Structure 1
Amino acid sequence: MARAKQAKKFAQVKRVLNLRDSRIQGKGRDLSKKRKQKKKGKDQSVNMTQRNLPQASTALYFRYNTQLGPPYHVLIDTNFINFSIKNKVDIIQGMMDCLYAKCIPYITDCVLAELEKLGSKYRVALRIARDARFERLPCLHKGTYADDCIVQRVMQHKCYIVATCDKDLKRRIRKIPGVPIMYLQQHRYSIERMPDAYGAPKT
């Protein structure tokens, strides 16, 4: 048997009441006017937009950060100390081998507080962090979350290199221009985003 041909259905459009329809009450008509007024206001605001860009640091006047130079100031994160112990790397000696210059490691109060919270498992890391060769940086903010503290410090002062193995913190610091990142790779320290001007190791 031959099939009966069906008529093709074209795009069906929803039937919408016209705004001038007599069945719509006065409130509905007022709403339509308000919508038109809002649209007009949006169009005007688009033309009058202001761009507020963050002011770039004067240290980044040239292509590299001019505040970076020996002796290097290295901000240390909690997990960097732990990974250094696991890989049996002396922190200060490893930094000097990486940068070929004197390095001053800095530890914030937040990092020390995090190590204290971790308990007896990390007592060796805590003992290393309390070493006299490590400079202490006092924290004035609330809480003991080290990542936020390090990011704020690095944004304010462009003289630091951040030593961390945390992927999230690395991602956050990569968004800040002119801040190198030190990390562990193949049982030794390596550095990322270091300018060639100061003889950084080629990795």
Structure 2
Amino acid sequence: MKSKRLKRANKILTHFRYNYNVLPPYKILIDGTFAMNALKDKINIMEQMPKYLGEVCELMTTKCVIKELEKLGSPVFGALHILKQYDIFHCPHTPEKCVNSCFTYLARKSIKEGKQKLIFATNDNNLKDKLREIPGIMNLFIGYNTILLEDISEASLQKEEKPSNEIERIKEIKKQVLGEEKPRIFKKRKAKGPNPLSCLKKKPKIEKDTNNGSDSKKTRRKKKKSDNQKN
């Protein structure tokens, strides 16, 4: 089961690497629900996250997440303690917003060209639904007592189909403006003459006489010589 889980994660990461340029070291934004579930299932996030993703990971949170947990007080003290160990990723919200608004804002910002690509870690179902609507976003959650990547969202898959449609549309516009392209005419190669070596006559094979044959010829010659001597 562990090998299947890691193979699945590698497949999803490879997909996002080639289609959305999500490259290591992975910047992962973690919210309170993810930290609480990790604490409940006794998962060491710092230790297990790099093992699962197979690369260096930069674990982060935002000031909006910290503020929300501080407001909730003692029930989430353990999650707050975990998240305070991580770096604070800059978000422009002053005063702080709810985590859903903060994370969706950062997700939309991260998919723009030239921006840092982010991975989000949450067990909040409402937040996961919102993040799935944004193409190019990966979501992590805790299930079955382990860290898991969500399947590639429909929004991400549909976004990948658009470039091919755009290419077809550009081709149609070119036809309207420039007209039909003339088919390219390729010059036929002249047939080459036969190989001169192949035209040479084959040399007849000389069959070697067997030992018996050579002996008989020699004896005949000897007989002829003896007849001449008699005459």
1:192 aligned onto 2:150 = yes
Q: State the match for 1:152 in structure 2.
A: 105
The Cα of 1:97 is off from its aligned counterpart by 2.1
Higher Cα Rg: structure 1 or 2? 2
Amino acid at match of 2:24: P
CA RMSD of aligned residues (A): 2.1
Q: How does 1:123-138 map to 2 (within 5 A)?
A: 123-131=77-85, 134-138=86-90
Mapped partners of 1:104, 1:170: distance in 2 = 21
Q: 2:34·2:121 contact (CA, 8 Å) conserved in 1?
A: yes
- Provide Cα deviations, 1:175-198, integer angstroms capped at 9, x if missing partner: 100101001121110112469xxx
Question: Structure 1 stretches (4+) deviating beyond 6 angstroms?
Answer: none
Distance 2:19 2:29 in 1: 19
Q: Which gives a bigger RCO, structure 1 or 2 (Cα 8 Å, sep 6+)?
A: 1
Specify every segment of 5 or more residues in structure 1 that has no aligned partner in the other structure, as ranges: 1-61, 196-203
* Deviations 1:135-175, CA, capped at 9 Å, x for gaps: 11243323430111000001001301110111111111111
* Mapping of residues 146-185 of structure 1, within 5 Å: 146-158=99-111, 159-185=117-143
**1:88 and 2:46 correspond:** no
Q: Does structure 2 conserve the Cα–Cα contact (< 8 Å) formed by 1:179 and 1:193? A: no
Distance of aligned partners of 1:109 and 1:81 in 2 relative to their CA distance in 1, 3 Å threshold: same
Return the letter of the residue paired with 1:154.
Answer: A
- Shift in CA distance, 149/143, structure 1 to aligned 2, threshold 3 Å: same
Residues 193, 160 of structure 1: alpha-carbon distance in 2 compared, 3 angstrom cutoff: farther
- Structure 1 distance, partners of 2:50, 2:28, is 11
Taking every aligned residue pair, what percent have the same amino acid on both sides? 31
Question: For structure 2, which runs of at least 5 residues remain unmatched after alignment?
Answer: 1-16, 112-116, 154-231
> Of 14, 17, 20, which residue of structure 2 is paired with 1:65?
20
Say which SS state the counterpart of residue 161 (structure 1) adopts.
Answer: strand
**Structure 2 CA distance for partners of 1:80 and 1:69, relative to 1, 3 Å:** same
Q: Aligned partners of 1:79, 1:156: CA distance in 2, in Å? A: 22
Q: Give the distance between the partners of 2:34 and 2:119, measured in 1 at CA.
A: 13
Q: Distance in 1 between the 2:18 and 2:52 partners?
A: 22
The size of the alignment, in residue pairs, is: 132
